[in-house]
Amino acid sequence: MKILLNNQTLTKTLGPFSDIGFVPTMGGIHKGHISLINRSIKSNKKTIVSIFVNPKQFNNLKDFKSYPSGIKSDLSILKRIKKLDYVYIPKFKDIYQNNKKSNIKIEKKYKILCAKFRKGHFEGVLDVMNRLTKLIKPKNIFMGEKDFQQFFLVKNFIEKKFNTNVIGCKTIRNRNKLVLSSRNFLLTKKELNEVEKISKEFLKLKKKIKNIRKINNFLQISKKKIEDFFNIKIEYLENINIKNLSKSNKYKGSRIFLAYFFKDIRLIDNF
Ligand code: AMP
């Protein structure tokens, strides 16, 4: 595994290759990331992982400052993946040297869920994905369905503009079905147990809505109950059609999307 620390080395190293699989991350490497990397290794001659905590996608400075980062432990985990070729760890100036203000906009119909509650977040994500794709020129980008709205918007944006496929990969959970996330590193063991209990309550909803007609009404009532029971703030809890991201009362073709705050840590999931 070769570590690439700037754009010059990146361009020189990747130059001869066209069959490149790319896994963008913000570090805090866990088994969710590793599943994307293994998927890329299976489908591409070369695989590159990036670690870059992109300040432009944080709508909250405190969230950015407290984002779990540990480059040493990330590298020691990544080194164990025998067939991983490259890790790219750019500095801010490598990505934003051409700091032309981006005019990337999110269509109004997609300004729901995280786009509604984290103003400017996806504009920041699309901007950095645009820059990374220009630099790396991957054949395939692998992204997690855990962040489904992100995957959906990046796929729409990148596949229109570049000769690159954006491939969605299934969500990895721990043995108690809690979705793996770098933000889980911010939780103590006790807090993690509590979050697992909350997550179980959310997951139960999937069965409950199976035979309900007004799914979103039911979810609104459940939202209030779960908030009161666990003393948490839920930002959204909605049943969404995964083809067009519109609100839906149909079970088929939809997923429940949710975001909530446990203490001041924002967690998301969809299933
Ligand atoms: P992040 O480092 O959180 O920005 O995530 C980098 C990539 O890993 C994104 O495409 C995420 O959707 C994906 N990812 C994060 N957590 C998981 C998970 N539990 N299962 C699958 N993919 C994940």
Domain boundary among 169, 194, 218: 169
Q: What is the pLDDT of residues 101-113, one digit of tens each?
A: 889 999 999 999 9
pLDDT band at 100 (very low <50, low <70, confident <90, very high): confident
Identify the domain boundary among 169, 192, 212: 169
Ligand 1, CB cutoff 6 Å, lining residues: 25-26, 32-33, 35-36, 143-144, 146-147, 169, 171-172, 179-182
Nearest-atom index, ligand 1, CA of 26: 2
CA distance linking residue 102 with residue 182, whole number of Å: 27
Mean pLDDT for 241-252 is 98
Active-site annotation holder among 26, 29, 33, 240: 33
Question: For position 95, what pLDDT does the model report?
Answer: 96
- Convert the pLDDT of each residue in 106-148 to its tens digit: 999 999 999 999 999 999 999 999 999 999 999 999 999 999 9
Using only the alpha carbons of the chain, give its radius of gyration. Answer: 19
Residue 227 in contact with residue 212, Cβ under 8 Å? Answer: no
Q: Which of 130, 132, 134 is nearest to 102 (CA)?
A: 130
| Residue 248: domain span | 182-270
CA distance 23 to 143: 7
The pLDDT value recorded for residue 244 is 97
Residues 159 and 187 occupy one common structural domain: no
Determine contact, residues 258/266, Cβ cutoff 8 Å: no
Q: Which residue has the higher pLDDT, 101 or 221?
A: 221
Residue 42 scores a pLDDT above 80? yes
Among 40, 147, 180, say which to mutate for ligand 1: greatest number of ligand atoms within 8 Å of CB: 147
Burial of 167 (0-12, 13-18, 19+ CB in 10 A): middle
In a domain, 55, yes or no: yes
Q: Examine residue 175 and state whether it is found in any structural domain, yes or no.
A: no
Distance of CA 211 from the midpoint of ligand 1 (Å): 31
Does residue 76 lie in a domain region?
A: yes
Same domain, 104 and 228: no
pLDDT averaged over every residue in the chain: 97
At residue 250, the pLDDT reads: 97
Task: Say which amino acid occupies 15.
Answer: G
Which amino acid is it at 246?
S
State the total domains in the chain.
2
Residue 30 appears among annotated catalytic residues = no
Q: Residue 258 above 80 pLDDT?
A: yes
> Identity (one letter) of the amino acid at 119?
K
Which residue puts its alpha carbon closest to atom 11 of ligand 1? 144
Residues 119 and 194 in one domain: no
Q: Which of 29, 33, 74, 126 to probe ligand 1 with, by most ligand atoms within 8 A of CB? A: 33
Domain-located, residue 140: yes
31 CA to centre of ligand 1 in angstroms: 9
Looking at 169, 200, 218, the residue that finishes a domain is 169
pLDDT value of position 101 = 80
- Confirm whether pTM is higher than 0.95: yes
